[in-house]
Structure 1
Amino acid sequence: MKESEYKLQRRVAGYHDIRMDGMTDLVLRAKGSSVFDIGCNRGLVAFEMANNGATVCHGCDNFEQGIGTARELFADLRAVETRFEVLDLTGGVAAVSRVFGNSRYDIVLCLATYHKLRRIMPAAALSELMVDFGKRTIRYFGWRGTSDKPAENEKEITNLDHDLGLAGLKRIHTSYISEILGVAAIWGRV
C-alpha cells in the first residue's frame, strides 16, 4: 500500500493511559516479568508494562502496520527483550506455536480481542486457543471485554472461566469500574 493511500484509523476504545483501567494491579506486577499481549495492536500496553519494569514483552496482531509500530516503539528499549509478530490467530494453537514455540509468560493479556475472535472462529477452536494461552500463563491472565456489547462480556467471562480453568487458572478479580472500556478480569495460577 502506498503511503498516500494509507488512512489512519482508530483501532481501540479509550486512550493508552486508560487501557489498563480496572487491571492496574497487573501493571504494578510488571517489574521483572515477562508479558505476552494477544492482539497487541500498536504495542502501547506492552510499552506501558515495559515502562513499569517488564523485562520481556512479546505480542501478536494481524494488523501489520501496528506490529511495525510496536517494533519501532521498542527499538530503543535495549533492556527489554521484545518480539512482535504479525499473526492470524484464527490459525489456532498451531499458528501460535509456529511463531512463539512453547514460550510461557508471567502475564498474558487479551484486551478487547476475544470478542473479535469469537465472531470469526468456531467455538471449539477458540476454546482450544484460550486453553493454550492459559497454559502459557505462569502467573496472571488479563482480559477486557468490549464496551459496546456488555451483555456479551458476561458470556465471554463464563467461557474464559471454563477454558482458563482447564489450564489451572482461576478468576481472582473482576472490575466494572471503567465506564469507557467496560469490564475487565484477571485470572491467576491456582
Structure 2
Amino acid sequence: MIHNIWIAKDTGECLYHRRYNDDINVDENLITSFLSAIEIFAQNVDSGCEQLETKRYKFVYAQTDNTVTVACIDKQDDDAYIKKEVEAIQNEFKSRFSKMLENWNGRVELFSTMDEFVDKRLSSFNSILGSFKNKKLELNEMIIKQKPKLKLSPQQEKVISLIRYKGTATLQDICKWMKLTEPDAEIAAKSLLHNNIIREVTSA
C-alpha cells in the first residue's frame, strides 16, 4: 500500500505532502531534505535515483529540473506501476506550478489544490493492492485472443499460463500449481491486474 507522497524542491524544501496512514510520521521538511539529498548525490555519481529501499519500505522517485516527487510504498509492492502514478503527479504539479515556483514566496498552502488529483491517481493503486487472495482471477478477453505486448517476468508468465489453462485461478492456486512463493505470486498478479492483462472474476 502507499503510505506517503512528497513533492520537494531540489533544495529540499517540502512543497506538498499527502499522508495516507501514520506508519511514517516524520516532519515533512526533514524527510524531503534527506530524500532530495539522496537524489542530488545520485545525480552526481549517476543519472539520478530511481528508488530507495529500507527494510520495510520502498521510496519511488520521479524528477524534473527543480523538483522531486517521492512515494513511499511497502517493500513487497511492485514499484513498476506506482512509478507511472508518481510521474503523472510530478507532471501535473509541474504543469500547474512551474511558473509560480520561479518566484515562490514559501507558502505551501498554494499547492493543496493537488489533493484531489493525487488522491484520484493513487486510489486506483491502492484498490489494486487490496486483498484478493481468495478471489478468482481470469484473463481479459483481448489477452485470450492474443499474446500480451508487455514484456513479462517469468512469474507473470506462470500466472498467465495457469489461468489460460484453468480458466480461472486464485492466488493460492498459483502458488500451489506454479511453485511460486506467495509474495512472488502476489507481485506478479498485481502487476498483471494493473496492466489489464488479468482481472477479478465478477459475481454473476
TM range (shorter): under 0.3
Q: Which of 1 and 2 has greater Rg?
A: 2
More strand by share: 1
More contact order relative to length (CA 8 Å, sep ≥ 6): 1
TM-score w.r.t. length of structure 1: 0.26
